[in-house]
Amino acid sequence: MPQRYAVIGNPIEHSRSPLIHQAFARQLGIDLSYEKLWAPIDGFEEAVNAFREAGGRGMNVTVPFKLEAYDLAARRSERAERALAANTLVFPESTDEPIFADNTDGVGLVNDLAFHGLKLEGKRVLILGAGGATRGVLAPLLGQNPQEILVANRNPERAYGLVEEFSDAAGECRLSGCPLEGIEDSLFDLIINATPASLTAQLPPLPDTLVGARTVAYDMAYGAEATIFMQWAEERGARQTLDGLGMLVEQAAESFSLWHGQRPDTAPVRDLLRDDIQQAAAETD
Ligand code: NDP
């Protein structure tokens, strides 16, 4: 019997986690099944327990259940504790043992930036958005010793709240928050769009002066083509623009390592996923 894993969410049809985990498993000769599991908004815990009782060994968790996944686990990694959210659950074989929760989103972003040769030490970083994704990546980004991280959000109170909460992890880094319209007029080395705005072709109101020849623009959203945020940065002379596909693959690789004790090579799976997304887009055109 192959080991059973799943990704749980609502909606879930769009998820490409099965493709990624099955590709990792083929690469390392591991026999597993990995399915998509839809759960009703008020039925997360029940769905998790049923999957576990049916022999499930682990789960990835996506919108809107990451906070509930964190609450459900009796043991948690430090990075899940920091994020107060979990995207990975581990079910020990014995149901007497508690569920373990981890959050691999932040390390996924940091590993993707490293994959592209980006070093954050001494750099100025701007993060747009102060939701769950920003919460998950803040501590790992601070761990890279940037000179500054500015969190800008539509509702500035959420940005201020995150800054206060993570101030103890800031060290020498200048960590501050502001409203989206209040971003200071100066160049950043890295601008991360951690809002879902690109998914509806919306662009946060940003001054042109944020981007220059040394700027890397990173959109956590991804699609068959460059997002509107990536296009905006490219038109203003950004050094490099990246989408969140690499982060998705890297966070999956971290979950996979946790479950199977082996680290897959992410490079070929990035290519596979890019091809799959482009093929799906071509078919709907
Ligand atoms: P949340 O819903 O938790 O937070 C969304 C944030 O974006 C909030 O700060 C919200 O502001 C802001 N926002 C929403 N819409 C707009 C808009 N139109 N203009 C400006 N700001 C806006 O979402 P998450 O943080 O969980 O996810 C953010 C994005 O990151 C999503 O697109 C998600 O798919 C992506 N993501 C990608 C991953 C990957 O592996 N590539 C992993 C995790 C997330 P306010 O507080 O004012 O409402």
Q: For residue 261, is pLDDT > 80?
A: yes
**Which pLDDT belongs to residue 46?**
98
* Total-model pTM: 0.96
**Which pLDDT belongs to residue 1?**
83
Q: Is 220 in the pocket of ligand 1 (CB under 6 A)?
A: yes
pLDDT band for position 269 (cuts 50, 70, 90): very high
User: What is d(CA 262, CA 254) in angstroms, rounded to the nearest whole number?
Assistant: 9
User: Which residues are catalytically annotated?
Assistant: 66
**What are the residue ranges spanned by the domains of the chain?**
3-103, 106-245
pLDDT band for position 135 (cuts 50, 70, 90): very high
Tell me the per-residue pLDDT of 89-130, one tens digit each, with 9 for 90 and over.
Answer: 999 988 889 999 999 999 999 999 999 999 999 999 999 999
User: What is d(CA 123, CA 189) in angstroms, rounded to the nearest whole number?
Assistant: 6
Q: Do domains 3-103 and 106-245 have the same CATH topology?
A: yes
Looking at 3.40.50.720, 1.10.10.60, 3.40.228.10, 3.40.50.10320, the CATH number of the domain 106-245 comes to: 3.40.50.720
Q: For residue 134, is pLDDT > 90?
A: yes
In 10 A of CB 1, how many CB atoms?
6
User: What is d(CA 154, CA 136) in angstroms, rounded to the nearest whole number?
Assistant: 18
Q: For residue 44, is pLDDT > 80?
A: yes
**Which pLDDT belongs to residue 285?**
77
Tell me the per-residue pLDDT of 168-219, one tens digit each, with 9 for 90 and over.
Answer: 999 999 999 999 999 988 999 999 999 999 999 999 999 999 999 999 999 9
Q: Is 154 in the pocket of ligand 1 (CB under 6 A)?
A: yes
Which numbered atom of ligand 1 lies nearest the CA of 133?
25
Bridge partner list, 249: none
Bridge partner list, 149: 125, 175
CA of 250 from ligand 1 middle (Å) equals 19
CA of 211 from ligand 1 middle (Å) equals 21
Which numbered atom of ligand 1 lies nearest the CA of 109?
40
Q: Is 155 in the pocket of ligand 1 (CB under 6 A)?
A: yes
User: What is d(CA 76, CA 70) in angstroms, rounded to the nearest whole number?
Assistant: 8
Which numbered atom of ligand 1 lies nearest the CA of 158?
46
Q: Nearest CA to 130 among 109, 112, 154?
A: 154
Strands 32-38 and 3-9: parallel
Closest residue CA from atom 43 of ligand 1: 133
Q: Fold for domain 3-103?
A: Rossmann fold (3.40.50)
Q: Nearest CA to 273 among 54, 24, 32, 84?
A: 24
Give me the mean pLDDT over the 253-282 stretch: 97
Q: Is 157 in the pocket of ligand 1 (CB under 6 A)?
A: no
Q: For residue 51, is pLDDT > 90?
A: yes
